[in-house]
Amino acid sequence: MLKEFRSILPYLKKYKFNYIVGIICLLVVDAAQVMIPRFTKIAIDLIASGHFALVQILKPALGMIGVAAVISVGRYFWRYYIIGASRNIETELRDKLFGHMLEMSAGFYQDNKTGDLMARATNDMNAVRQSIGFGFVQFFDGVFMSAMIIAAMIADNASVALYTIIPLPLVTILILQFGKLVGGQFKRVQEVFSKLSDIAQETFAGMRVVKAFVKEHHFSERFSIENDRYEDAIMDLVKTFGFFFPLISFLSGISTVILILVGGKAVLRNKMSPGDIIAMISYLEMLVWPLMGAGFTVNTIQRGQASLKRINEILTTKSEIEVAPGTREDRPEGGISVRGLDYGFAGATRKALEGLSFEVPEGRTLGILGRVGSGKSTLLKVLPRLLDPGKGKVFIGGVDAGDYTLAALRKAFGFVPQESFLFSDTVRNNILFGAPEVAPERFAELVRIASLEKDIALLPNGLDTVVGEKGLTLSGGQKQRIAIARALALDPPVLVLDDALSAVDAETEEKILQNLLVERKGRTNVIVSHRVSTLRHADAVLVLQDGRMSQYGGHRELLAEKEGFYAEIARLQELEAEVGADSRQAPAGERM
């Protein structure tokens, strides 16, 4: 059951001083608690004798007050050391988990949903902390407290004590069975909670689409169904607890009955004093907590074990992209060379890219065209190793991309994806995200190149306007242009635009492209677009079809291939532009 906890042994060793001091304080508290019935016994026997002075009662009373003070101080310190250590371990483990997830490749996030990952980093992490904090305390407290209480009872009257503890072996068996049952039930609770979190996260992230399609009721029903499943899972756990703890109380009550019967006879025979009986009853009441605590301990450890297993599943997952030892840390410079590139996704029936070979000399621009699913975005992700192509496939400046560290390689790319992601921050900070030290003159130049001047002037606080989560308050075109400025702020040797001007009008697009092509003469550009008007600026155009190169050449050269896909798209877009122009020029009555 405890095999999952091997992964946190280094943390436990790190904080062993805290645990050792905490255990010592816990033992002092347990010993002090066992002393209280002793003082009660002295007072009861004095009162039962019928001949005593109040000053005699004062002595055990003061003793009890002193013991209570020791218990209070001891409890503070064991909480400070043990619970404090568990909090520190939780913090370090959460940092480790988050750092590990940052290192994972894109495929990891395709296989694991955001809601589930968040549940593991919060709900599961909390269960682990409980197991190495209060679970640890409950275990040691239960063992030592039970041993001390039973030893004290035997010291008073061994025969009576042995009769009284007869039900305890049955309690032990029940506790073991309880642990097995609770472990499975709690695992189900955590899994259902992850699903519930995932539905909530997905709904909030896609709220625009939900409202646009009037699907609030659909998502409300989905959440309600999963919420009911979560309630059922929790109630199964509650029912188990609801049966177990009253049963423990019942068995402890049987021990009390045995004590009264057997102990009463011993008192009548003068083998025990009334104080002994009262002390033993106090010990039995105190023994109920270790017995109950054993159930809590099993539950807490089972919860921690189930949650730690889910966390370890993430920590033991290795990134698909591995960096070989001895890799270069300098930023790549130069052109791009792709040689015999093949790439396939796990489980796919065909390769996403197959047999691609082409060159993009330094300072030149490559355009890429293809139908949906032809492999354009996959190719762009392969270049900076967001997807790993393997050795000998992609070269930057004549050096294999796999010879660089991932950080160094990716610093060479200014990447603007199809869906521009903005952080819930100001426009200024989003542009400076990758390069916060950009000079004011350069920043103004970035705004001009991305054609953002007019848009910023219309924002309520200009560059200091907070754009909201994922840029919620901006249009698609504004988000794309901010993303372009953000990429240019890095001054990258390679600029990659993955259909990054699709939400921009033709006039603004032309202006931005002209700015980009003259802004840095030595930069290599890779532009994916469905518009031939965009691709005509490229020195060469790569046409993809089903992951393969179907055409490659300059704009005029590809137009000359009348049967080619490039020329076909050019004719369709030219016809569309003519129809649109005629429609705008026609009188209002004719347009109707």
pLDDT given for residue 581 in this prediction: 53
Q: Which residue has better confidence, 520 or 561?
A: 561
Secondary structure of residue 525 in the 3-state scheme: strand
Give domain status of residue 359, yes or no.
yes
φ/ψ bin of 499: left (φ > 0), alpha (ψ from -120 to 50), beta (otherwise):
left
- Whether 393 maps to a domain, the answer reads yes
Rounded to 5°, the CA angle 394-434-493 comes to: 40
Q: Residue 138 — very low, low, confident or very high, per pLDDT cuts 50/70/90? A: confident
pLDDT of residue 87: 93
Query: Is residue 81 scored above 90 in pLDDT?
Result: yes
Q: Which residue has the higher pLDDT, 338 or 521?
A: 338
- What is the rounded average pLDDT for all residues in the chain? 84
262 and 383, same domain (yes or no): no
Least confident of 41-50, 125-134, 365-374, 576-585: 576-585
Q: Are residues 479 and 498 in the same domain?
A: no
Sign of CA pseudo-dihedral 345, 348, 354, 356: negative
Helix axes 274-315, 168-205, angle to 10 degrees: 40
| pLDDT tens per residue, range 366-398 | 999 999 889 998 999 899 888 888 888 999 988
Burial 66-105 (b: 16+ CB within 10 A, else e): ebeeebeebeebbbebbbebbeebbeebbeebeebbeebb
Has residue 590 been placed in a domain?
no
574 within some domain: no
> Which of 290, 315, 340 represents a domain boundary (last residue)?
315
Q: Which residue has the higher pLDDT, 551 or 162?
A: 551
Residues 475 and 505 in one domain: no
pLDDT band at 591 (very low <50, low <70, confident <90, very high): very low
DSSP per position, 272-322? S-HHHHHHHHHHHHHHHHHHHHHHHHHHHHHHHHHHHHHHHHHHTPPPSS-
Parent domain of 533: 328-412+494-566
CATH code for the domain of 88: 1.20.1560.10
**Are β-strands 548-553 and 524-528 bridged in parallel, bridged antiparallel, or unpaired?**
unpaired
Residues 264 and 115 occupy one common structural domain: yes
Number of domains into which the chain is organized? 3
481 belongs to a structural domain: yes
- Taking only the tens place, the pLDDT of each residue in 492-514 is 999 999 888 887 887 888 888 88
Residue 406 falls inside a structural domain: yes
Question: Are 202 and 309 part of one and the same domain?
Answer: yes
Best CA proximity match to 369, nearest among 498, 562, 480, 477 = 498
Residues 302, 368: one domain? no
**Which CATH number is 444's domain given?**
3.40.50.300
Closest-CA residue to 539 (of 394, 358, 406): 358
591 is a domain residue: no
Say whether both 9 and 36 belong to one domain. yes
pTM for the structure as a whole: 0.71
Whether 268 is in a domain gets the answer: yes
Note whether 402 and 428 are same-domain residues.
no
Helix axes 274-315, 125-132, angle to 10 degrees: 140
Residues 282 and 388 grouped into a single domain: no
pLDDT for 590 beyond 50: no
Among 289, 315, 341, identify where a domain stops: 315
**Residue 468 pLDDT exceeds 50:** yes
Q: Which residues of 238-253 are buried (b: 16+ CB within 10 A; e: fewer)?
A: eebeeebbeebeebbe
Considering 460, 491, 522, which residue would you say is the last residue of a domain?
491
**pLDDT, tens only, 209-222:** 777 777 888 888 88
Q: Do 120 and 70 lie in a common domain?
A: yes
Same domain? For 97 and 201 the reply is yes
Tell me whether strands 548-553 and 540-545 are parallel, antiparallel or unpaired: antiparallel
Instruction: Check whether residue 406 and residue 424 sit in a common domain.
Output: no
